[in-house]
Amino acid sequence: MTLRIGPYTLASNVLLAPMAGVTDRPFRMLCRRFGAGLAASEMLTADTRLWGSAKSRRRMDHSGEPSPRVVQIAGYDPQMMAEAARLNVDAGAEIIDINMGCPAKKVCNRLAGSALLQDEPLVARILAAVTAAVPVPVTLKMRTGWDPQHRNGPRVAHIAEDCGIQALAVHGRTRSDGYRGRAEHDTVAAIKARLKIPVFANGDIDDGPAARAVLAATGCDGVMLGRAAQGRPWIFDEVNFFLAAGRASAALAPEKVRDIMRAHLEDLYGFYGDATGVRVARKHLSWYLQRHPGNEALRSRLVAIETPQEQLSTLLEHFDPVARCVPLARVVA
């Protein structure tokens, strides 16, 4: 199926969900290499006064990323959101995604993220301001509503389409659900049925069969995967294969997993620098290893290590105990 968002034809309808603290540039590029159709940045505050921080600067760094580059912005003020979108487009963003899906306190205290779903007129003002401000496609990520008694997702989706939003991703939970229970995709199906723009279903989709079932149940144009990609960036390849072939692909060989982990760690050290890179790498290592029971001791060792060289050589020794001498050209350079 050919799927377009504005001028962009997506190579796959399986997308990586934006996750603050996870979908940094190294992880986005890894998931794109494994076939994610799009990979939005971690959310960036629309408050430009905060853009001087190292965190915001890194979140705005898209060098080397394949097109189309998607930047997600979060905020509550239409003019600030419009200005943030404009500045990001000037800096190379090719699609602007608006966050109305995140339940995090820090965002919601300012009535941003999914808390905005409570105020439909404000939603309309934000979406209209942002779509008018930039010449690139604007997309929206939202939840099904404010709480189970107020599933206003279908109304908000209509507002979005009327305001010129060009694609929508819907997480099948309400804001008050947090991450509890299972995502329900009935509301997502109701939203899809009313819209002309592409709709992506999101929430608890963790393999090819789940993706196929949600696509069939909702009629959505694609799916968006978040937590299932943690420690398993190759899931996009697996799901793409399953959707095309109707059967599972062969499991990855341990050497392939080792090479993926190694390249990922080296990218993290390069992107964040050694000290922060090692810290960020710890959580990815935990995710990779927790998928393989029996690695608890290795996990505990790895998360206590302070240098890239030791972190990488400890990991590689696990895969190949004989190879003690690890060439660390990119790390040391």
Ligand X SMILES: Cc1cc2nc3c(=O)[nH]c(=O)nc-3n(C[C@H](O)[C@H](O)[C@H](O)COP(=O)(O)O)c2cc1C
Which residues are tagged catalytic? 102
Token reading at 183: 């995502």
Binding mask 235-264 for ligand X (x = CB under 6 A): ------------------------------
Q: Total residues contacting ligand X (rule CB under 6 A)? A: 22
Q: Distance between CA atoms of 199 and 192, rounded to whole angstroms? A: 6
Q: Distance between CA atoms of 237 and 251, rounded to whole angstroms? A: 11
State the pairing for strand pair 44-45/70-74.
Answer: parallel
Q: In what order do the strands lie in the sheet with 95-100?
A: 14-16, 222-225, 199-202, 167-174, 138-145, 95-100, 70-74, 44-45
Comparing CB distances to ligand X, the nearer of 102 and 191 is 102
Long-range pairs of 266-270 with CB within 8 A, sequence gap ≥ 24? 266/312, 266/330, 266/331, 267/26, 267/29, 267/30, 268/24, 268/26, 269/308, 269/330, 269/331, 270/26, 270/330
Q: Would you count residue 203 as binding ligand X (CB under 6 A)?
A: yes
Listed ranges 6-14, 117-125, 201-209, 302-310: which one lies at the site for ligand X (CB under 6 A): 201-209
Q: Would you count residue 265 as binding ligand X (CB under 6 A)?
A: no
Q: Would you count residue 205 as binding ligand X (CB under 6 A)?
A: yes
Q: Distance between CA atoms of 40 and 50, rounded to whole angstroms? A: 20
Q: Would you count residue 12 as binding ligand X (CB under 6 A)?
A: no
Comparing CB distances to ligand X, the nearer of 229 and 312 is 229
Token reading at 130: 């942002």
> Considering only residues 43-72, where is the footprint of ligand X by CB under 6 A?
43, 72
> Considering only residues 270-309, where is the footprint of ligand X by CB under 6 A?
none
Q: Would you count residue 160 as binding ligand X (CB under 6 A)?
A: no
Comparing CB distances to ligand X, the nearer of 130 and 225 is 225
Q: Would you count residue 20 as binding ligand X (CB under 6 A)?
A: yes
Given 42, 94, 177, 266, the residue binding ligand X (CB under 6 A): 42
Q: Would you count residue 185 as binding ligand X (CB under 6 A)?
A: no
Nearest to 138 by CA among 146, 129, 151: 129
Binding mask 130-149 for ligand X (x = CB under 6 A): -----------x--------
SS3 228: helix
Comparing CB distances to ligand X, the nearer of 81 and 316 is 81
Does residue 141 come out as left (phi exceeding 0), alpha (psi in the -120 to 50 range) or beta? beta
Given 5, 140, 191, 228, the residue binding ligand X (CB under 6 A): 228
Neighbours of 329 (CB within 10 A): 7
Binding mask 80-119 for ligand X (x = CB under 6 A): -------------------x-xx-----------------
Q: Would you count residue 39 as binding ligand X (CB under 6 A)?
A: no
Helix (H) or strand (E) holding 223: strand 222-225
Binding positions for ligand X, rule: CB under 6 A: 17-22, 42-43, 72, 99, 101-102, 141, 171, 202-205, 225-228
